[in-house]
Amino acid sequence: MKRVCLAGLLMGVLALAGGARAADGPVPVLATVGMIGDLAATIGGDCAAVEVLIGAGSDPHIYQPRASDISRLQAARVVLYEGFNLEGRLGAVLDRLRRDRVVVAVGEEAVPADILLTSHGAVDPHLWMDVSIWARLVPVIADVLGGERPGCKADIAARAARLHSELSALHAWVRETLASIPEGHRVLVTAHDAFGYFARAYGLHQVAIQGFSTVSEASVADIRSVAAEVVTSGVPAVFVESTINPRTVQAMLEAVAAQGGQVGLGGQLYSDAMGQPGTAEGTYVGMIRANVRTIVAALGGTPAPWPQDLAGWAERNGVTP
């Protein structure tokens, strides 16, 4: 698919005439990332037609707007994005849409500053890694969708309440499961700093080769520094990520060996994108579940029993708890 420069896309956006404004039928919603899109689709039900702009396997930090994005933005009445610079260059495009569409930075709206992680003045945008934080987006999205489809407000509120209960159960399951990892193995080593909220919420120590963003590549010094920490900690495994080339982690593994250490590859984690649509991992709950199960399998823990409140999710997605 052909890429376009940001300036060209901005001019195309400025030429858009209105959004989809019909008051009946499902409201057209475009979410920037799957983690937002999945919440919106679950909350909106038949009252929202949700699409995701940046799909599975794509890194939102370095996403380049495409020519086809113009028509997708034109078709949307509601655009939901996280903010905190997660969407990078796309943020300038989204700002231009506010004149004739409902454009909401749901992360910035929902999450107070005092619980954000920051480094060198930048906010860590990976809010979805703490399920209790991501659940804060539910009422914000429900308000936006209910405002566009007043006749659906009661159904939207009911679905939002059910989703909030499911996320509360998921948060408790993640905490219990990760607590089963032996204390000396509770070190999560990844390609980039996407798991800070996860580590803080669930009692792990995160070590990352790159920072919050993947715009710039890791340096040799960064790789060697993380390798030294891996050797010192004796952690049994490190992890690659679905949206990042594994060569950085491979270079770190080689540096570990060069320093006289030994560590295994624990598997792949979903960091900046969910799994493929139509799979359990292509949902927010499934993304978190897959990550937790991969981590405990590699670091020596045992999954807790799957919550009864999530039995419906498991059945819908063909998952055996």
Question: How many domains is the chain built from?
Answer: 2
> Does 154 lie in the same domain as 111?
yes
> Does 119 lie in the same domain as 188?
no
> Does 230 lie in the same domain as 190?
yes
> Does 80 lie in the same domain as 14?
yes
> Contacts from 154-162 at CB under 8 Å and sequence distance 24+?
155/45, 155/47, 156/43, 156/44, 156/45, 156/47, 159/42, 159/43, 159/44, 159/45, 160/43
pLDDT digit string, tens, across residues 63-106 = 887 888 888 988 899 999 999 999 987 877 887 888 889 999 99
> Does 127 lie in the same domain as 59?
yes
**End residue of a domain, out of 174, 192, 217:** 174
User: Domain with 274 in it: what CATH number?
Assistant: 3.40.50.1980
- The predicted pLDDT at position 1 comes to 41
Q: How far is CA 81 from the centre of its chain?
A: 11
User: How high does pLDDT run on average in the chain?
Assistant: 91
Is residue 148 within 8 A of residue 104, CB to CB? The reply is no
**End residue of a domain, out of 129, 153, 174:** 174
> Does 136 lie in the same domain as 19?
yes
- The predicted pLDDT at position 243 comes to 83
pLDDT digit string, tens, across residues 106-154 = 999 999 999 999 988 899 999 999 999 999 999 999 999 999 999 999 9
Q: Lowest mean pLDDT: which of 43-57, 81-95, 197-211?
A: 81-95
CA terminus-to-terminus distance, the chain: 39
> Does 218 lie in the same domain as 136?
no
Q: What is the value of pTM for the model shown?
A: 0.92
pLDDT digit string, tens, across residues 230-284 = 999 999 999 999 888 899 999 999 999 999 999 999 999 999 999 999 999 999 9
Name the residue range of residue 262's domain.
182-316
